[in-house]
């Protein structure tokens, strides 16, 4: 067996790898029209039909409105929530904005959330979305009992090309990006 020559320089092993990521933002807008809004004033809550973005059937959302507030301390407010009903993914990165509009589609109130992690069955929203007296006054000004709830949902999707195959992965965004 030959002994290595210690005078020879050690050679380095250099390796390299690459991957490709392409992020995509899916934006979907849904308007839920509620006729005779005053008739549901005493209801605990009302739920919209399922919301599905065209071309991305893996996500199903719904809105939940609580005309009398959702907990005892906020009975002077209307509460509003967005729920992720089901998803083909274990978790979703999404943000949303909700608008309350009158029958002329004029804005009465708005609020939103930046990108957050959602799990199926998870709900986010606002316990004090709009003061109920203010909402009813705005509806009276246009002589209407029609309430429109518009929700804009943005979902971040990442695709990665590995060996020529596209696979869906969960995106991770820097904090600065999420707060924009």
Task: Identify the weakest region by mean pLDDT among 59-68, 125-134, 142-151, 169-178.
Answer: 169-178
- What percentage of the chain carries pLDDT values higher than 90? 39
Position 123 confidence tier, pLDDT thresholds 50, 70, 90: very high
Work out the average pLDDT over 31-57. 88
**Structure-block tokens of residue 91:** 């978790």
The residue to which tokens 């005892």 are assigned: 72
Q: How far apart are CA 157 and CA 26, in angstroms?
A: 7
3-state secondary structure the chain: CCCCCCCCCCCCCCCCCCCEEEEEEEEEEEEEEECCHHHHCCCCCEECCCEEECCEEEEEEEEEEECCCCCHHHCCEEEEEEEEEEECCCCEEEEEEEEEECCCCCEEEEEEEEEEEECCCCEEEEEEEEEHHHHHHHHHHCCCCCEEEEEEEEEEEEEEEECCEEEEECCCCCHHHHCC
CATH for 20-178 is: 2.60.210.10
pTM reported for the whole predicted model: 0.74
For residues 101 and 111, the answer to whether their CB atoms sit within 8 Å is no
Q: Are strands 56-66 and 46-47 parallel, antiparallel or unpaired?
A: antiparallel
Phi, psi (rounded to 5 degrees) for 113: -130, 140
Instruction: Render pLDDT for 150-180 as a digit per residue (tens, 0 to 9).
Output: 999 998 876 555 544 455 555 555 555 445 4
Q: How far apart are CA 89 and CA 131, in angstroms?
A: 36
């Amino acid at each position: 067996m030959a002994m290595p020559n210690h005078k020879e320089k050690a050679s380095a092993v250099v390796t390299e790898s690459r991957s490709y990521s392409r992020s995509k933002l899916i934006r979907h807008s849904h308007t839920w029209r509620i006729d005779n809004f005053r008739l549901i004033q005493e209801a605990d809550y009302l739920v919209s039909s399922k919301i599905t973005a065209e071309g991305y059937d893996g996500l199903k959302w719904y809105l939940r409105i609580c005309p009398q507030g959702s907990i005892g301390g906020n009975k002077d407010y209307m509460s509003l929530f967005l729920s992720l009903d089901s998803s083909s993914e274990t978790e979703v990165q999404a943000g949303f904005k909700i608008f309350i509009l009158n029958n002329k589609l004029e804005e009465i109130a708005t609020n939103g959330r930046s990108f957050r992690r959602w799990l199926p069955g998870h709900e986010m929203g606002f316990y004090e979305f709009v003061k109920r007296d203010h909402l009813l006054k705005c509806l009276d000004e246009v002589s209407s009992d029609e309430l429109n709830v518009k929700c804009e949902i943005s979902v971040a999707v990442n695709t990665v090309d590995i060996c020529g195959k596209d696979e869906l992965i969960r995106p991770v965004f820097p904090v600065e990006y999420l707060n924009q």
